[in-house]
Structure 1
């Protein structure tokens, strides 16, 4: 990483810090360019959460580090070793990054073998490449390349316009929903009146219990009414002998 994604500043070497202190000068404090911050935010996200949110999908941090490590190797390649399109992309990356081609490397070596200055140059070139890929100025190839590009827009068929039959069915459903809502309101008003009027309470109770064949069923309806806030004194006991055959006793 070249920067602190949290503060947006370039990371400096320990040697530069101690040198500035020895000379009595303020330590370097440089703002990091946005394309470097974008790359380092991805690495930081992977190190702290285990996953990295790439444009197309989230990947395991190991996939991201493998992709980044591959990119560092590729930007250090000589244009004489790649095809024409790749050579043009490499030239564009280094020109945009503001460094000499391959950061002045004459003989290819693994990234870890370079000094700090060239490692920083390669990381800047990688960040520049990611930005050029994101903006569509160069193409990302390879099995992992598509992960770095935004998924192109894919239109979805919006479906058939509703015809006369469907409009009629929709209107019927809406009317049924409206009627049901109005019926619920009427029932609630009826129960509100039953909470203070014993005659209305008995009327409702009679409707609810008219098909009760056992004392248990009768009592369930009674408990339901009481649960709705209707006084128990408003609800009569069953007529004598109504449930004599069932033997149910409350």
Structure 2
């Protein structure tokens, strides 16, 4: 299960999209789905309502303690590596259970992991498959980057996430300043980044709302 999830994540990073059973989705949507799933699997059962049994079942199936043994809720990005790996395995298990129809989550986006239902009658003849046009993966990747830049011009959170990603591996002051100039030339407001110093490749927030499993 985790290998399948990794293949989709790699596809998102290299092509800008992910092929799911229902349809092709943008890479950004894939990462939002994955991030939401990680949050849900880390939610105290007392807040899960009727879906608490599904959360518990996922953890039982992947063989790890509930919520990877955590007592307090913390963002995924600041969890210890061992806990992060268990969370990812639980997410992969949940996706596999959804696709195999063992679980039926209530979220609107969950249908993306299921095939499109057949709504028309057939004549029993073999289906003639259409020849797919070759995909230019380089153009798809460029398109995904361009879309991220467009959003970053209006969304400071997106701007900072993109800045953290593009500055990964070159965090010295001179490199960061050159990158800020590049972002400004692309129309991203300098004030979005003026006081921002990236401390990780994908996140700039550190939160802890103190939620626990006590109920």
TM (norm. structure 1) is 0.48
Return the offset for 1:140.
2.7
Return the offset for 1:108.
0.5
Report SS of the residue matched to 1:144.
helix
Question: Distance in 1 between the 2:6 and 2:69 partners?
Answer: 24
2:168 aligns to what?
Answer: none
1:59 aligns to what?
Answer: 25
1:221 aligns to what?
Answer: none
**Equivalent residue in structure 1 for 2:60, among 78, 95, 98:** 95
Moved over 6 A (4+): none
Please, what is the CA RMSD of the aligned residues?
1.5
1:40 aligns to what?
Answer: 6
2:77 aligns to what?
Answer: 112
Report SS of the residue matched to 1:59.
strand
Question: Distance in 1 between the 2:54 and 2:47 partners?
Answer: 13
Return the offset for 1:157.
5.6
**Equivalent residue in structure 2 for 1:136, among 98, 101, 124:** 101
Higher relative contact order (CA 8 A, sep 6+): 2
Q: Does 1:75 align with 2:41?
A: yes
Return the offset for 1:144.
1.3
Instruction: Provide structure 1 residue ranges, at least 5 long, that are not aligned to the other structure.
Output: 1-34, 159-250
Instruction: Provide structure 2 residue ranges, at least 5 long, that are not aligned to the other structure.
Output: 124-215
Q: Which has the larger radius of gyration?
A: 1
1:5-24 matched pairs, under 5 angstroms: none
Q: In the comparison of the two structures, how many residue pairs are matched?
A: 124
